[in-house]
C-alpha cells in the first residue's frame, strides 16, 4: 500500500514536467522544421552578370543584400543554353554530361537532337549523366520543375515528380504558381527548378549594348520581385534556399564582323551540325583534311581545331557527339555560310574565358551568408552545392564543394538536414527518457532507502549487527 502511494507522486510530477517540456518543444518545432533542406534553382536565360548594373534592378539588389553575390561564374564551353543548363544539374563539363550543344548529331546512334525544332526528347542523348532530380528522387525526395531544359524528358526511366511539358507560352506567373503549389502541397517537394526564356531572346535580337535592353532587364527584375513576393506570401521565402542564376551571357555582334565559310570551302564537302559562333563541322566521308586545310588559317578571327586539337582547358573533346572539326569565332564575330544567312545583334557560345559569356549568380536563404560577395566560382561547383543544400549524395562530378562552401552561413548548422533533425529529436527524447528514468529511479531509491532507514530505525532498538 505505502510504496504504491509514494510512487504516484513522482509520476504525476514527471508527467507534468513532460507536458511542459513537450509544449515548449512543439513551440520550437516549426522553426526547427524550417531547417529541412529545401532549394529552388532559378535560371533567367542569357542574363549576363553585369546586367544588374545597366539599369535599376532593385529586386536583384534586394536579393544581393540578403544573400551572396558571386561576381564571376565561369560557365562551361560551349557557352550555350542546353550544355550549361545540364552542367548546373550534373556538375559535369559538356564532354562528360553529353549535351555538347543545342544542335547535335550522334554518329554512333545516327540520330540528331535539335533545340531549333524542339527535337530534344530522345532519352539517349541525356543519359550519359544523371541529373540532380533523379538522385533527389532516388533518395526519397520530390522534385518540381517548371520548364527547366530536360525536365520533360524521361532520363534513366524517370521524370521529375512534378513537371510541366515545355511550352514557352506559359507565363512566368503560372510557372511560379505551380512551384508554390508543389512546395506547399501535402507531400511537398524539397527541390524546385524554374526556367524563363528572357532576356536571352531579346538579347539576340537587340544586342546587349542596345539601350532598348534596359526595359527588358527591368522586366526581369520585376519578375524576380514577383517570385520573391509570392514566396513571402506562401511563407516560403525565409525557409527556402534560392539560387538565381543563368546559363550564359551575351556579346554584341555586328554586320562588320562576319566570317563567310563559302569564301573558303565548298559547301558540298561538309555539313554544319551546330551554328555560330562555335561551329560543329562534320566533313563528308574522306574530306576531313581538305575541309580542315581550307579553313585552318582562313580568317584571323576564326580558330579552327581538329577535334583532338581542342585545348584541354575547354574540356570539350572526349565525346562522340563532338564533331571532327570545330570552328570558334572571336568575341563578337559570327560564322555563316554567306551574308544572306540570318543575322542577329547578340550571340553567345564563345570561349567560356570571356567575361561577356558569364552569367549572374545570387544565393539567398537560411543556408547562405547575408550581404556577402565572392569574386569567382566555377559553374560546375553549383551541383555539389545543391546536393549539400538538399542533403543528398552527389554523383561523381567536375565541381568542388570546398570551393564554394565559404558562401554558406557559419552560425547556422548547414548540415541540419532531415537526418540531423531526426537525430536531434532522437537525442532530445532519448535523453529526456533517461532523465525521467533516473529521476524515477533516484526517487524510488531514496524512498526505498528512507523505508529501509525507517525500518532500520524501528529495528534500531534491536541488535544491529547480526553478521
Ligand atoms: C542514318 O539515318 C538516316 C535517316 O535518318 C539514313 O538515311 C542513313 O542511311 C543512316 N546512316 C547510317 C550510316 O545508317
Ligand atoms: C501552351 O500554353 C498556352 C498558354 O497557357 C496555351 O494556350 C497553349 O494551349 C499551350 N500549348 C500546348 C501545346 O499545350
Ligand atoms: C580579330 O583578329 C585580329 C587580327 O588577328 C585581332 O587583332 C583582333 O583582336 C581580333 N578580334 C577579336 C575580337 O579577337
Ligand atoms: C548564300 O546562301 C544561300 C543559302 O544559304 C544561297 O541560297 C545563296 O545562293 C548564297 N549566295 C551566294 C552569293 O552564294
Ligand atoms: C551591405 O554591405 C554594404 C558594404 O559591403 C553596406 O554598405 C550595406 O549597408 C550593407 N547592407 C545591409 C542591408 O546590411
Ligand atoms: C575552377 O576549376 C579549375 C579546374 O578544376 C580550377 O583549376 C580552378 O581553381 C577553379 N576555380 C575556382 C575559382 O574555384
Ligand atoms: C569530370 O568528371 C567525370 C565524372 O567523374 C570524369 O569522368 C571526368 O574525367 C572529369 N573531367 C575532368 C576534366 O576531370
Ligand atoms: Zn541564346
CA of 408 to the centre of ligand 6 (A): 19
Q: Which atom of ligand 4 is nearest to the CA of 341?
A: 5
Q: What does the pLDDT read at residue 450?
A: 53
- The residue written with cell numbers 554530361 in the block is 97
Q: What does the pLDDT read at residue 441?
A: 58
Q: Please give the CATH topology (third level) of the domain spanning 37-92+129-251+351-415.
A: Alkaline Phosphatase, subunit A (3.40.720)
CA of 332 to the centre of ligand 8 (A): 14
Q: How confident is the model at residue 467 (pLDDT cuts 50, 70, 90)?
A: very low
Q: Which of 15-29, 224-238, 365-379, 431-445 shows the lowest mean pLDDT across its residues?
A: 15-29
Higher-pLDDT residue of 34 and 81 is 81
Q: How far apart are CA 302 and CA 295, in angstroms?
A: 9
What's the grid cell of residue 94? Answer: 559538356
Question: What's the mean pLDDT in 130-148?
Answer: 98
Q: What does the pLDDT read at residue 2?
A: 42
Q: Which ranges of 139-199 would DSSP assign to H, the alpha helix?
A: 172-184
Is 347:277 a contact under the CB 8 Å cutoff?
Answer: yes
What's the grid cell of residue 129? Answer: 549523366
Q: Which atom of ligand 7 is nearest to the CA of 396?
A: 5
Closest CA to 101 of 121, 117, 125: 125
Length of the chain: 467
Of 170, 171, 174, best ligand 2 pocket probe by most atoms within 8 Å of the beta carbon: 170
| Cis peptide upstream of residue 78 (ω within 30 degrees of 0) | yes
Is 124:109 a contact under the CB 8 Å cutoff?
Answer: yes
Of 76, 131, 396, best ligand 7 pocket probe by most atoms within 8 Å of the beta carbon: 396
What's the grid cell of residue 153? Answer: 524528358
Is 36:342 a contact under the CB 8 Å cutoff?
Answer: no
Is 88:191 a contact under the CB 8 Å cutoff?
Answer: no
| CA 229 to chain CA mean position, Å | 21
CB-proximal residues (5 Å) to ion ligand 8: 200
- Stated as kind and residue range, the H or E segment containing 392 is none
Checking if the pLDDT of 466 tops 80, the result is no
The average confidence (pLDDT) of the chain is 89
Q: How confident is the model at residue 27 (pLDDT cuts 50, 70, 90)?
A: low
Q: How far apart are CA 199 and CA 195, in angstroms?
A: 11
Higher-pLDDT residue of 136 and 430 is 136
CA of 109 to the centre of ligand 1 (A): 9
Q: How far apart are CA 352 and CA 354, in angstroms?
A: 5
Closest CA to 38 of 334, 414, 290, 376: 414
- Stated as kind and residue range, the H or E segment containing 142 is none
Q: CB count, 10 Å around CB of 180?
A: 17
What DSSP designation does 68 have? E
- In three-state secondary structure terms, 193 is strand
Q: How confident is the model at residue 420 (pLDDT cuts 50, 70, 90)?
A: low
Judged on CB neighbours under 10 Å (0-12, 13-18, 19+), 25 is middle
First to last CA, the chain: 31
Checking if the pLDDT of 457 tops 50, the result is no
Q: How confident is the model at residue 123 (pLDDT cuts 50, 70, 90)?
A: very high
Of 72, 314, 378, best ligand 6 pocket probe by most atoms within 8 Å of the beta carbon: 378
Question: What's the mean pLDDT in 300-304?
Answer: 98
CA of 453 to the centre of ligand 1 (A): 99
CATH number at 258-347:
3.30.1360.180
> Which backbone phi and psi does 321 adopt, to 5 degrees?
-85, -5
Question: What's the mean pLDDT in 393-416?
Answer: 84
Is 81 considered catalytic here?
A: yes
Residue 251 pairs with which residues in a beta bridge? 347
Which long-range contacts does 113-116 make (Cβ < 8 Å, 24+ apart)? 115/81, 115/82
Residue 242 pairs with which residues in a beta bridge? 40, 364
Q: What does the pLDDT read at residue 202?
A: 98
Percent of the chain with pLDDT over 70: 80
CA angle, corner 204, sides to 147 and 75, nearest 5?
65
Dihedral, 361, 362, 363, 368 alpha carbons, nearest 10: 110
CA of 321 to the centre of ligand 5 (A): 47
For every residue of 406-465, which 3-state class applies, written as one string?
A: HHECCCCCCCCCHHHHHHHHHHHHHHHHHHHHHHHHHHHHHHHHHHHHHHHHHHCCCCCC
Dihedral, 388, 389, 391, 393 alpha carbons, nearest 10: -40
Q: CB count, 10 Å around CB of 166?
A: 17
Q: How confident is the model at residue 410 (pLDDT cuts 50, 70, 90)?
A: confident
- 262 pocket-lining for ligand 5 (C-beta < 6 Å): no
Q: What does the pLDDT read at residue 121?
A: 96
Query: Which one is catalytic: 81, 90, 135, 380?
Result: 81
Residue-wise pLDDT for 187-243, tens only, equals: 999 999 999 999 999 999 999 999 999 999 999 999 999 999 999 999 999 999 999
Residue-wise pLDDT for 240-286, tens only, equals: 999 999 999 999 999 999 999 999 999 999 999 999 999 999 999 99
Q: What does the pLDDT read at residue 461?
A: 36
Q: How far apart are CA 302 and CA 213, in angstroms?
A: 28
Domain spans in the chain, listed from the N-terminal domain onward: 8-32+420-456, 37-92+129-251+351-415, 258-347
> Residues with Cβ within 6 A of ligand 7?
92-93, 96, 315, 396-398
Residue-wise pLDDT for 349-402, tens only, equals: 999 999 999 999 999 999 999 999 999 999 999 999 999 999 999 999 999 999
Amino acid at each position: 500500500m505505502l510504496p504504491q502511494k509514494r510512487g504516484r507522486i513522482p509520476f504525476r510530477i514527471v508527467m507534468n514536467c513532460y507536458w511542459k517540456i513537450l509544449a515548449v518543444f512543439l513551440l520550437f518545432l516549426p522553426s526547427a522544421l524550417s531547417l529541412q533542406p529545401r532549394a529552388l534553382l532559378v535560371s533567367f536565360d542569357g542574363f549576363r552578370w553585369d546586367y544588374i548594373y545597366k539599369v535599376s534592378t532593385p529586386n536583384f539588389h534586394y536579393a544581393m543584400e540578403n544573400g551572396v553575390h558571386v561576381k564571376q561564374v565561369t560557365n562551361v564551353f560551349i557557352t550555350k543554353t542546353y550544355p550549361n543548363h545540364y552542367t548546373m544539374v550534373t556538375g559535369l563539363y559538356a564532354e562528360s554530361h553529353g549535351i555538347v550543344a543545342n544542335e547535335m548529331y550522334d554518329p554512333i546512334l545516327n540520330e540528331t537532337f535539335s533545340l531549333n525544332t524542339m527535337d530534344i526528347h530522345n532519352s539517349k542523348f541525356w543519359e550519359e549523366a544523371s541529373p540532380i532530380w533523379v538522385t533527389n528522387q532516388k533518395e526519397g525526395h520530390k522534385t518540381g520543375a517548371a520548364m527547366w531544359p530536360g525536365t520533360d524528358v524521361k532520363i534513366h526511366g524517370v521524370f521529375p515528380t512534378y513537371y510541366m511539358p515545355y511550352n514557352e507560352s506559359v507565363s512566368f506567373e503560372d510557372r511560379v504558381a505551380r512551384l508554390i503549389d508543389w512546395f506547399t502541397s501535402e507531400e511537398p517537394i524539397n527541390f524546385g527548378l524554374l526556367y524563363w526564356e528572357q532576356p536571352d531572346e531579346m538579347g539576340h535580337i537587340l544586342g546587349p549594348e542596345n539601350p532598348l535592353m534596359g526595359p527588358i532587364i527591368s522586366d526581369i527584375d520585376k519578375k524576380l520581385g514577383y517570385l520573391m513576393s509570392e514566396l513571402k506570401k506562401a511563407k516560403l521565402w525565409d525557409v527556402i534556399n534560392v539560387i538565381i542564376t543563368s546559363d550564359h551571357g551575351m556579346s554584341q555582334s555586328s554586320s562588320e564582323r562576319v566570317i563567310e565559310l563559302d569564301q573558303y570551302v565548298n559547301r558540298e564537302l561538309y555539313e554544319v551540325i551546330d551554328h555560330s559562333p562555335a561551329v560543329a563541322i562534320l566533313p563528308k566521308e574522306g574530306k576531313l583534311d581538305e575541309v580542315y586545310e581550307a579553313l585552318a588559317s582562313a580568317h584571323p578571327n576564326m580558330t579552327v581545331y581538329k577535334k583532338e586539337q581542342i585545348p584541354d582547358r575547354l574540356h570539350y573533346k572526349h565525346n562522340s557527339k563532338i564533331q571532327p572539326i570545330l570552328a570558334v569565332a572571336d568575341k563578337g564575330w559570327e560564322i555563316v555560310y554567306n551574308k544572306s544567312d540570318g543575322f542577329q545583334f547578340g550571340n553567345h557560345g564563345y570561349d567560356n574565358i570571356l567575361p561577356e559569356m558569364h552569367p549572374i549568380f545570387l544565393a539567398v536563404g537560411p543556408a547562405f551568408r547575408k550581404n556577402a560577395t565572392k569574386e569567382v566560382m566555377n559553374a560546375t561547383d553549383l551541383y555539389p552545392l545543391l546536393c549539400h543544400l538538399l542533403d543528398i549524395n552527389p554523383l561523381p562530378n567536375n565541381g568542388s564543394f570546398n570551393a564554394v562552401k565559404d558562401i554558406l552561413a557559419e552560425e547556422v548548422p548547414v548540415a541540419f538536414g532531415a537526418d540531423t533533425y531526426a537525430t536531434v529529436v532522437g537525442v532530445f527524447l532519448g535523453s529526456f527518457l533517461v532523465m525521467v528514468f533516473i529521476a524515477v529511479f533516484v526517487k524510488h531509491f531514496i524512498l526505498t532507502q528512507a523505508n529501509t532507514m525507517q525500518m532500520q530505525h524501528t529495528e534500531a532498538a534491536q541488535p544491529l549487527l547480526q553478521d
